[in-house]
Amino acid sequence: MEKLALHGGVPVRKDPLPLFEVNLGEEESKNVLEVLKSRKLVQTHGIWANKFGEMIKDYLGSKYIVLANNGTSTMHLSLIALDIGPGDEVICSPLGWISSGTPSLYQNAIPIYADVDPEFGFINPEDVRKKITSRTKAISVVHTWGLPADLDPILEIGEQYNIPIVEDAAEALGASYKNCKVGTLGIFGSFSTVWNKIITTGEGGFLVSDDQFLADKAKHYGNFAKVPGKGDYFDGLGYNYRMTELMGALGVGQVKRIENNISIRRENAAFLSKQLESLEIDGLQIPKEPNYGKGVWWKYTLLLELKQFCASRDEIVKAIRSEGILCDAPVLPDNLQPFYQNHQIYGTTKCPWDCHYYTGLSLVDYSKMCPEAANYSDRAIWLTGCSPSLNRNDLDSIIHAVEKVLKWYKIN
Ligand SMILES: Cc1ncc(COP(=O)(O)O)c(C=O)c1O
């Protein structure tokens, strides 16, 4: 057996392979230079952000788009547009990213996390049902790690209770659910274009919707709630969440390559799965694509049955990293983050949990809200971001490192 690099052996790679790689083309540099030369840096002065928005609308087949400075702002704007406020609850997904759920708190509403299914980490419709109350005003569903969540059962719940569904598709631009692009089936689809996402504008994001009133409202609040044509007049509490021209210029170049890049990502994932399966390591669960859709594999995530290995998940991650594959372990599920445990976000108050508008259990207990998410996150490894720039040698080195480490720690 090969000695692990962690124990002084020769690493699989000398040049470490990062989890994500930024994929930029010539066109992005050219476009950005154009913006600089034009001196038109904000969306209202230039053409690039709007052009990017039109291209995304075409790509997704959505009627309206709200361009923004990131995918946290877009989640926030969706809740503002839906009139979410104090006393309301929003059911959210615990696996994805913290700011999928926290924008409810910006609105002084209460995030309630639904538990996940053990295989994919998507919110489990049965648990969503259990968590619905008369206070539930929205449900947000994350397409976790770039695979499509099973939307029909969640859309059905939304219809039954008249609750809008926001798709947090930050990680899944281009993924599809039953031949529809994710993000286009809920009332809003929210996307991020931060550096490591399927396409990037550095920071950035957008909301799509087929509802003109809601899209306009989201756009208005993301532009200070400034009333057009009335000078410096603002009709609400707005935010500056606008996308810049530089972001738009990057995006235009990126979106042109999206389909090609997604097919390479899918090939990378298929290659990894085939090779990992051939290793026949008991206790290693290889990620699968759900049979109802197609993923974009933003994070290729392994699940371990830990009793089959004589090392903790964190030790295994450390050993694979030492081999030169910079994989990572998921952070805690969002509901386990400390501020949810001590209910402290606004100064020393317990606001909004002890707000008199809130009629639920005053200090919601987040600690045991999502046992399956905790279990998932304890045994998961983010192996690679499946970047289109990975070559055959990179993919082989990933497999080699996993084989070397898991076989070393395997209990026979
Ligand atoms: C599921 C999910 N939601 C929201 C976000 C927030 O997006 P951003 O980083 O652009 O604010 C991210 C990504 O970072 C994410 O992965």
The CA distance from 110 to 354, in Å, is 10
The single-letter code of the amino acid at 38 is S
Query: Ligand 1 in contact with 96 (CB < 6 A)?
Result: yes
Q: Whose C-alpha lies nearest to ligand 1, atom 1? A: 96
Q: Whose C-alpha lies nearest to ligand 1, atom 8? A: 71
Give yes or no: residues 280 and 200 share one domain: no
Helix axes 245-256, 26-38, angle to 10 degrees: 150
Number of domains present in the structure of the chain: 2
Give yes or no: residues 211 and 104 share one domain: yes
Query: Ligand 1 in contact with 121 (CB < 6 A)?
Result: no
Task: Give a yes or no: residue 214 inside a domain.
Answer: yes
Give the bridge partners for 139, in sequence order. 91, 165
Q: What is the CATH number of the domain that holds 378?
A: 3.90.1150.10
Helix (H) or strand (E) holding 36: helix 26-38
- Global pTM reads 0.97
Task: Give a yes or no: residue 174 inside a domain.
Answer: yes
Task: Give a yes or no: residue 304 inside a domain.
Answer: yes
Give the bridge partners for 141, in sequence order. 167
The residue out of 257, 276, 306 marking a domain boundary is 257
Which pLDDT belongs to residue 331?
A: 81
Give yes or no: residues 312 and 393 share one domain: yes
Task: Give a yes or no: residue 167 inside a domain.
Answer: yes
Residue 191 C-alpha to ligand 1 middle, in angstroms?
Answer: 8
Give yes or no: residues 97 and 111 share one domain: yes
Which pLDDT belongs to residue 94?
A: 98
Q: Provide the 3-class DSSP secondary structure of residue 312.
A: coil
Q: What is the CATH number of the domain that holds 182?
A: 3.40.640.10
Give yes or no: residues 396 and 319 share one domain: yes
The CA distance from 77 to 196, in Å, is 22
Q: Provide the 3-class DSSP secondary structure of residue 409.
A: helix
Give yes or no: residues 238 and 273 share one domain: no
Task: Give a yes or no: residue 354 inside a domain.
Answer: no
Determine the residue of 106, 147, 194 to mutate for testing ligand 1's pocket, defined as the one with the most ligand atoms within 8 A of the Cβ atom: 194
Q: Quick one: which atom of ligand 1 is closest to the CA of 143?
A: 1
Give yes or no: residues 309 and 182 share one domain: no
Task: Give a yes or no: residue 224 inside a domain.
Answer: yes
Give yes or no: residues 405 and 391 share one domain: yes
Query: Ligand 1 in contact with 103 (CB < 6 A)?
Result: no
Task: Give a yes or no: residue 305 inside a domain.
Answer: yes
Query: Ligand 1 in contact with 78 (CB < 6 A)?
Result: no
Residue 1 C-alpha to ligand 1 middle, in angstroms?
Answer: 41
Query: Ligand 1 in contact with 205 (CB < 6 A)?
Result: yes
Query: Ligand 1 in contact with 194 (CB < 6 A)?
Result: yes
Print burial letters for 240-269: b (CB count within 10 Å at least 16), e (below 16).
Answer: ebbbbbbbbbbbbbbbbbbeebbebbbebb
Q: Quick one: which atom of ligand 1 is closest to the CA of 205?
A: 10
Which pLDDT belongs to residue 67?
A: 98
Residue 168 and residue 75 in contact, taking contact as beta carbons nearer than 8 Å: yes
Residue 91 C-alpha to ligand 1 middle, in angstroms?
Answer: 17
Give yes or no: residues 138 and 220 share one domain: yes
The CA distance from 300 to 386, in Å, is 7
Task: Give a yes or no: residue 279 inside a domain.
Answer: yes
For the chain, the distance separating the N- and C-terminal CA atoms, rounded to the nearest angstrom, is 14
Query: Ligand 1 in contact with 69 (CB < 6 A)?
Result: no
Domain that holds residue 203: 26-257
Residue 174 and residue 143 in contact, taking contact as beta carbons nearer than 8 Å: no
The residue out of 257, 285, 312 marking a domain boundary is 257
Determine the residue of 69, 70, 90, 97 to mutate for testing ligand 1's pocket, defined as the one with the most ligand atoms within 8 A of the Cβ atom: 97
β-strand pairing of 110-113 with 205-209 = unpaired
- The sign one gets for the Cα dihedral 367, 373, 379, 385 is negative
Give yes or no: residues 247 and 291 share one domain: no
Helix (H) or strand (E) holding 177: strand 176-177
Q: Whose C-alpha lies nearest to ligand 1, atom 7? A: 71
**DSSP symbol at 365:** -
Determine the residue of 66, 92, 171, 296 to mutate for testing ligand 1's pocket, defined as the one with the most ligand atoms within 8 A of the Cβ atom: 171
Each residue's pLDDT tens digit, 36-82: 999 999 998 999 999 999 999 999 999 999 999 999 999 999 999 99
Walk along the chain (412 residues) and give the pLDDT tens digit of each residue.
899 999 999 999 999 999 999 999 999 999 999 999 999 999 989 999 999 999 999 999 999 999 999 999 999 999 999 999 999 999 999 999 999 999 999 999 999 999 999 999 999 999 999 999 999 999 999 999 999 999 999 999 999 999 999 999 999 999 999 999 999 999 999 999 999 999 999 999 999 999 999 999 999 999 999 999 999 999 999 999 999 999 999 999 999 999 999 999 999 999 999 999 999 999 999 999 999 999 999 999 999 999 999 999 999 999 999 999 999 998 899 999 999 999 999 999 999 999 999 999 878 999 999 999 999 999 999 999 999 999 999 999 999 999 999 999 999 7
Give yes or no: residues 70 and 154 share one domain: yes
The residue out of 226, 257, 288 marking a domain boundary is 257
Backbone dihedral region for residue 146 (phi beyond 0: left; psi -120 to 50: alpha; all else: beta): left
Residue 203 C-alpha to ligand 1 middle, in angstroms?
Answer: 10
Q: Quick one: which atom of ligand 1 is closest to the CA of 75?
A: 4
The CA distance from 239 to 185, in Å, is 26
Residue 382 and residue 20 in contact, taking contact as beta carbons nearer than 8 Å: no
Give yes or no: residues 301 and 249 share one domain: no
Which pLDDT belongs to residue 381?
A: 98
